[in-house]
Amino acid sequence: MHRRSRLPATAVVGLTAVLLLAACGANSGGGGSQADDKATATQTSASPSPSASASGRPTVEPPGDLTYTFDWPGTGDAAKDAVLADSEQNIKAVDLAIANQDPLDSAYRFYFEGEAAAQIQRYVQAYVTAKARTTGHYRYYDPVVNVSAPDKASLVYCEDQGKAYDLYLKTKKVDKTAVTKNSYVLYSTQLHKNGRGVWVAQKLSSQRGSAKCQP
């Protein structure tokens, strides 16, 4: 999901969604320019490759300097709550792939398929090429979940990237930018429940600076 400063725009050309890139402001603050995505923290703090949990879902543990607030409480509907739970993990899984500097990291590939998986691969590769990752804090809020069939759902939500940044691994420089309207991003995800009972993302889109997400 992504946030503060960003990687060069050319690095993420073709991505229609910035699920997890840094972009707090319209301009980058040094160490390189950026695109609407996130990149921060240090390479040494990346978690090891995820292991399977008893449920079959991978263990997703991004670096300790990268934290999240998910202001999307339970709905009381089992299907909707499952969509929210798996979406929380897919957001973190993308950050884990960036921290691991692995465009084919197994955790995000567990939660993304098709067009969305290809987008995330290009997104992570942009961070690998820039030798950068994400750090700081992300907040997610105002989720709207719609389950249209037993195996089909959509999720729209907001992201606050105001305290999230890009970290360049070689220099350990954190690229901070001022908070602007572009620090707030609206995301839309199309999901389906696969044979393992996991809600996986198939399509992604985003709108930076969305009026709906402004504080």
Each residue's pLDDT tens digit, 173-208: 999 889 999 999 999 999 999 999 999 999 999 999
Quote the pLDDT of residue 189. Answer: 96
Quote the pLDDT of residue 115. Answer: 95
* pLDDT beneath 70, residues of the chain: 1-55
Burial 109-125 (b: 16+ CB within 10 A, else e): bbbbbeebbebbbebbb
- Distance between CA 186 and CA 198 in Å, rounded? 23
Can you give the pTM of this predicted structure? 0.79
Quote the pLDDT of residue 200. Answer: 97
Residue ranges in 131-204 assigned as alpha helix (H): none
